[in-house]
Amino acid sequence: MALEPYDPCPCGNGKKFKFCCQPIIEELTAVERLISEKQPKQALLAAEKLEPEHSTNPLLLRNKIMAFLMLERHEEAHDLIKLLQQSNPQDPFGYYFDIRWHLFMSDWDHTRPIVEGHLSSIADKNPGLAYQLSVEIVDELLNSGRFMAVWRYLFDALLWARNEEDARYVMSAFHELNKSSDIPLPFRNLYQLRTLPDNQPNQAEFAEAMKFAGVRNWTKAAQLFEALSEKDPHQPVLSFNAGLCYAWSGDLAAAAELLGRAGDDLPDFESAVELETLAQLHDQQLPEEQIPLRTYRYRVQSVSRLLSQLDQEPRLHRQPLPPNRPDTDRPPAAVYLLVDRPRDSGNIEDLKSLPLSIGTVMILDEVREPELPGELYIRSLSPVFTDADHDLVVRVAGEQIDTTPAEEWGALPADGGIPRDVAGLNFNVVPPTGLRRSEILKLVAAHAKHVVYDQWTQLPLESLDGLTPADAARDPELHMPVCAAINVLASVTETANYSLDVDDLRQKLGLPAIQPMVCQSIDDLKKSSIQDCLRLSFSDAPEEVIREAFPMLASTRAIHPLRKLLNAVYDREISIPEFDVPAVCRMACSLAIRVLDLDAAQMWCDRGRAANLRAGADLMARADWDLNELEVAALTNNEEKVIELLRKCAREYFLKIPQVKPQVMQLLKLEKLDSPRIQAIMSGTDLQTVGAGISDGGLWTPESVAAAASGGKLWVPGQE
């Protein structure tokens, strides 16, 4: 919409448009258009025409700063940012660019005071700018492992979203992060500051701390809450609020200390375990508590020859590549697992002898436009990775890689680490070749259980002052930190695709069983954390609570509580929006298969099929349940059941639903099911399925020829 002469000027200095930027608005618009078209050099040339008369014009300065940032001329950008702030202190863009500059050029500890000092005032003047800044801050926080701060700034971005598109972007970010196993489950929660009971002292000081929290100055609020907790050391509200504000500020060490202190003073055991879990997780994110990962990068002379050489090394195992994503600039040509011993050297009867992956090798192909060479990356995944492992890959690659020291070739700076308390655990077992899929799944699960129950329980932990979980569990005074350490372990096993049954491990160590949480209303549930929801009692919770808890547990992929919830949904006949009974059964069956509870998987197959039949299932729905049951039968190695279901699929689905047969063939291939009887069914020569292509309506199929040849009259199309 065109500006009227007496409208406020868009530069934001408080003057009327007529008396400010109107005379040069066309030139300013041209500079802005060049920035939007990603032509920063041309934008700077156009800006020169307005100088020196308009060198401090806010609109001109904003676009010049953006141009310098796009060109990575950071010092010149910083000089203009200072000029913008001096010439117009009320312009929110001055602080916006200052924060952006520090996000790129400095670390979070130096950037945080600027963010907390100015973000709320930016939002008051320009919510859209605060939204954009919050989204950019989230990226920095994610990279540095400040996950509770990520949730805080994403929530604020949602509050400042300018339109539905912005809001959808934030909600999709929440959804993606909820699915990410890289973020420990207890961190996937916003949490809320707690109020101080009216009968407690220090009400005025508490209100002052809450005021700073209200303007998102988390560090100042945390310091005030912490000072109050020193006055009243056994009031958990004070230390909790201090810890939470430190977590939102991204101060990992202070958050760990204060949240741990709050847990010590809580009378409720499970609530104390939750806060101690957060404290231990924050401790593990500290750089000094992590063992750095090592990464090397080399130029490749010939990718095809390199792959041929790497394929010959017994300690390198090539991985299947996923389909190329359209947003991927350079998809890998190959990815290898580097194992600590040759893949087939282990004995599946001895879990300790199995080879483990300790690193990865990735090769990027050459790219012609822009011209880039092939590249080889070696990355450690375990502290047992040594120089000898790196040298092995380099030796196998030979002349196909250039090891001459050059800029950014060779060893790269560390870009992550493994927490010391779990660095000695390796879930990355590499099964021997020749195993069936079911055997691989069972072996991987058995190895993961061995790591958890046999290795971790005997591993000295920093979080337990050097005690092992087994030793600490014998001391009732240490039950709370041991239970928290189990929660931390559960977040680690999730990254290894192993769903740890926390309650089972507790009982194995002689620790208190998980105390179920009872929610009587949706309001109670909304006040609960993710950790609370994991111990919800589903047998007596109101139906609306279960409906509300379902998407929360489903989005976080919390398998064990989600399975309990699905049982309650089925047993109590609770309707879930967008989920009918067969859909509930299908999800429960999938979860049971994932944890290899095959009896439960069969039960849910039976329930789902029955529900579909009651609803008048179509052919496709019937086929889905038979395929599910076929997978369960294959996993249980029940060949007679497999043959029975194969014959049913051949009779009823192979010709009517073309995609069924390829699915069945893929399952048989993975399970290495190729006995003569199975081959006969799939080739159409099995006596009990010959003529299976003839439907109840008498339609002709090629298979009916074989049936007619055995004595019946040959029927051809057109005959009555």
Q: Kindly state the average pLDDT of the residues 86-94.
A: 86
CA-based nearest residue to 359, from 319, 332, 311? 319
Q: Kindly state the average pLDDT of the residues 158-184.
A: 90
Same domain, 531 and 667: yes
Same domain, 498 and 576: no
The pLDDT tens digits for 464-481 are 999 999 999 999 999 999
Same domain, 351 and 465: no
Look at residue 712 and tell me whether its pLDDT is greater than 60: no
The pLDDT tens digits for 206-222 are 999 999 999 999 999 99
Coil, strand or helix at 527:
coil
Q: Would you say residue 197 lies in a domain?
A: no
pTM comes to 0.86
Same domain, 592 and 632: yes
The pLDDT tens digits for 579-588 are 889 999 999 9
Task: Using the 3D structure, point to which of 225, 257, 285 is the last residue of a domain.
Answer: 285
Q: Would you say residue 687 lies in a domain?
A: no
Domain with 533, as residue range(s), is 527-672
Check: CB of residue 549 under 8 Å from CB of residue 531.
Answer: no
pLDDT band at 462, cuts 50/70/90?
Answer: very high
Look at residue 231 and tell me whether its pLDDT is greater than 90: yes
pLDDT band at 700, cuts 50/70/90?
Answer: very low
Same domain, 387 and 478: no
At residue 672, φ and ψ (nearest 5 deg) are 55, 40
The pLDDT tens digits for 262-298 are 999 899 999 999 999 999 999 999 989 999 999 999 9
pLDDT band at 716, cuts 50/70/90?
Answer: very low
* Predicted local confidence at residue 255, as pLDDT: 97
β partners of residue 78:
none
Q: How many CB atoms lie within 10 A of CB 613?
A: 13
* Residues ≥6 apart with Cβ < 8 Å to 26: none
* Predicted local confidence at residue 326, as pLDDT: 52
Q: Would you say residue 247 lies in a domain?
A: yes
- Of the two residues 290 and 53, the one the predictor is more confident about is 290
Coil, strand or helix at 375:
strand
Q: Would you say residue 683 lies in a domain?
A: no
* Predicted local confidence at residue 49, as pLDDT: 74
Task: Using the 3D structure, point to which of 629, 646, 672 is the last residue of a domain.
Answer: 672
CA-based nearest residue to 493, from 438, 453, 553, 537? 453
Same domain, 301 and 350: yes
Average pLDDT, the chain: 87
The pLDDT tens digits for 408-454 are 789 998 878 899 999 989 999 999 888 998 999 999 999 999 999 99
* Predicted local confidence at residue 16, as pLDDT: 60
Task: Using the 3D structure, point to which of 479, 508, 537 is the last residue of a domain.
Answer: 508
Q: Give the number of domains in the chain.
A: 4
Q: Would you say residue 559 lies in a domain?
A: yes
Q: Kindly state the average pLDDT of the residues 550-577.
A: 88
* Residues ≥6 apart with Cβ < 8 Å to 131: 157, 160, 161, 162, 166
**What CATH number has the domain bearing residue 649?**
1.25.40.10
Q: Would you say residue 194 lies in a domain?
A: no
* Predicted local confidence at residue 18, as pLDDT: 55
DSSP 380-426: E-STT--HHHHHHHHHHHGGGEE-S-BTTBEEEPP--EEEHHHHT--
Same domain, 257 and 321: no
Same domain, 477 and 549: no
CA-based nearest residue to 562, from 600, 527, 522? 600
Same domain, 258 and 304: no
Same domain, 656 and 552: yes
Same domain, 406 and 472: no
Q: Would you say residue 165 lies in a domain?
A: no
Look at residue 46 and tell me whether its pLDDT is greater than 70: yes
Residue with tokens 């006995």, as numbered in its chain:
675
Same domain, 646 and 555: yes
The pLDDT tens digits for 637-675 are 888 999 999 999 999 999 899 999 999 999 999 999 989
3-class DSSP string for 79-133: HHHHHHHHHCCCCHHHHHHHHHHHHHHCCHHHHHHHHHHHHHHHHHHCHHHHHHH
The pLDDT tens digits for 127-138 are 999 999 999 999
* Predicted local confidence at residue 362, as pLDDT: 96
Q: Kindly state the average pLDDT of the residues 22-32.
A: 70
Residue with tokens 């907390």, as numbered in its chain:
116
Q: Kindly state the average pLDDT of the residues 495-506.
A: 90
Look at residue 693 and tell me whether its pLDDT is greater than 70: no
Q: Would you say residue 499 lies in a domain?
A: yes
* Predicted local confidence at residue 331, as pLDDT: 80
Pairing of strands 295-300, 401-402: antiparallel
The secondary structure element, H or E, covering residue 292 is strand 290-292
